[in-house]
Amino acid sequence: MVDPFVPRKQPRLLIAPSYGAAVKGRWHNTMDSPISFKDPAVAVHLSARERQDLDRHHHDGLARFWGAKPRFDRDIDQLTTGDLVLFTGQSRLRYIGTLGFKTRNERLASALWQDEPSWTNVYSITELQPIADVSYPQLAAFLHFSPQYSFQRTQLLTPEQTSWVIAGVGIDLGNAQAPRQAEQPGRRRRAGIAVGLDRAAVQDALDEWRDLGKQAFLQKYEANEAARYAIIDRDCEADAMAILLGARHRTGLPADGHWRGDLVNVAAPLRKLGFAVVNIASELEGPLGPQPSAYVTRAHEFLGPTDSLTLQSIRREQSFLRGALGIGTGRPGAQAECALCGRLLPEDLLVASHIKPRARCTESERIDIPNIAMPACLLGCDALYERGYITVDGDGTVRLGKTAEPHLLAQDQLIGRKLTIHNAARAEYFAWHHAQHA
């Protein structure tokens, strides 16, 4: 049988209160455990079409049901199979469910919830997973709402808000969106691995990592090798998830289960505690977060003279420079300007380009962040400057380099362009380049 339902790329998300005085009993009746829709008391209220629809989503004849009042009709109308429902109550997220069947049927609602005939919208849930450790203030933070916001009414989130919550809570869409898939308890990853840990707890775990070595530490705390984030701690890079897991064990916090290893749950809280965290899967994301000033004030901690010229330290320096130049947000779609051609381009088409070649820099020049570098695009500017086809004169104007054929770039708008990035702090670096290539 072919399922006619094709999931959309990005589901919508409905917030549904599930624990207030008025609805607690309803939850007990139709959500705590699935009920039989073949039971005549329910079946008599279903049209042939509704019955067919339910059968399609719930082969065993059992389903969990929830609903909403008529004043939420407009919200409910926008939902389709595969969309997500976040059930709130007791000041936290309780469950997440995937929407299966949906109808507007007052008689069905009255049969399901006899206590109070206020609901007319009825929907079924194909997967229901408990959510641990997400309080209302945390949910409010994901949504940029005030911390006091209480999620006590039915509410459809915008697509943008939905994506913030999916990223923040750590919802596994591959799983949540497949309506025919059997329930897989435990597969959903928990949010909040860093919640409850302070700087000292993380530092203790880092010290133990250094003492034990990587393999022994991973083994001791049953942690996996880092797929995304590593903490830079003086002379070593330690797998961030493993460190957080170790810190949870060491401080007696619950550590079992599968945890989310994303930006919101791992990198952002660690950076907030003052750690530098590199994304080993992305060359774009700066280790101190998106604020360029953080790199300037803390460069010496991570790029000091003890840093030998290893590949690791060069990669680290590049990510510091990116962050300091404002091209290290790591956000998909983030844009910034190429210092040479002035085009506004996606971050992944820009590099932190040394104004004076790195190999010719002294130690103090190397850590003169961000003045030693400029954002340059991969559409030509970076290579043209590095190879001396173009150079920049004392006024900050782009000139043809001496090795370039005059016709090579004669028509190009690059030549004669005055750079806004040229300033007193960068002048001597540009002058070095100019002396070589003019």
Which CB sits closer to Zn ion, 13 or 381? 381
Paired tokens of 63: 């389903």
CA distances from 207 to 203, 268, 366 (A): 6, 21, 28
- Rounded to the nearest 10 degrees, the angle between the axes of helix 292-303 and helix 311-324 is 160
Question: Could you tell me the smallest distance in angstroms from the CB atom of residue 315 to Zn ion?
Answer: 23
- CB contact at 8 A, 344 and 270: no
Question: Could you tell me the smallest distance in angstroms from the CB atom of residue 356 to Zn ion?
Answer: 19
Which CB sits closer to Zn ion, 7 or 388? 388
Question: Could you tell me the smallest distance in angstroms from the CB atom of residue 231 to Zn ion?
Answer: 34
C-alpha–C-alpha distance, residues 317 and 354, integer Å: 11
Question: Could you tell me the smallest distance in angstroms from the CB atom of residue 290 to Zn ion?
Answer: 22
Question: Could you tell me the smallest distance in angstroms from the CB atom of residue 390 to Zn ion?
Answer: 10
What is the DSSP track for 154-223?
Answer: -EEPPHHHHHHHHHHHT--HHHHT-TTSPP-TT-SPBS-TTTT--HHHHHHHHHHHHHH-HHHHHHHTTP
What is the DSSP track for 222-262?
Answer: TPPPPSSEEEEETTEEEEHHHHHHHHHHHHT----S-B--S
Which CB sits closer to Zn ion, 236 or 383? 383
Question: Could you tell me the smallest distance in angstroms from the CB atom of residue 382 to Zn ion?
Answer: 7
Q: If you count DSSP H runs as helices and E runs as strands, how many of each does the chain have, helices first?
A: 17, 16
* Site of interaction with Zn ion (CB under 5 A): 338, 340-341, 377, 381
Specify the pairing of strand 344-346 against strand 335-337: antiparallel
Which CB sits closer to Zn ion, 136 or 429? 429
H/E/C letters for each residue in 69-88? CHHHHHHHHCCCCCCEEEEE
Beta-bridge mates of residue 341:
none
Which CB sits closer to Zn ion, 83 or 382? 382
Question: Could you tell me the smallest distance in angstroms from the CB atom of residue 340 to Zn ion?
Answer: 5
Which CB sits closer to Zn ion, 1 or 344? 344
Question: Could you tell me the smallest distance in angstroms from the CB atom of residue 344 to Zn ion?
Answer: 10
SS3 content of the chain, % helix, strand, coil (to 5): 35, 20, 45
What is the DSSP track for 296-331?
Answer: HHHHHHHHSTT--S-HHHHHHHHHHHHHHTT-----
- Cβ-proximal residues to 103 (8 Å cutoff; 6+ apart), any chain: 50, 53, 121, 122, 123
Question: Could you tell me the smallest distance in angstroms from the CB atom of residue 208 to Zn ion?
Answer: 46
- Cβ-proximal residues to 431 (8 Å cutoff; 6+ apart), any chain: 394
Paired tokens of 303: 């790029």
- CB contact at 8 A, 112 and 45: no
Question: Could you tell me the smallest distance in angstroms from the CB atom of residue 338 to Zn ion?
Answer: 3
Which CB sits closer to Zn ion, 278 or 373? 373
Which CB sits closer to Zn ion, 209 or 385? 385
Which CB sits closer to Zn ion, 338 or 374? 338
Which CB sits closer to Zn ion, 201 or 339? 339
Question: Could you tell me the smallest distance in angstroms from the CB atom of residue 393 to Zn ion?
Answer: 18
CB atoms within 10 A of CB 274: 13
For 186, half-sphere exposure in the C-beta direction (CA atoms, 13 angstrom radius) is 2
Which CB sits closer to Zn ion, 35 or 419? 419
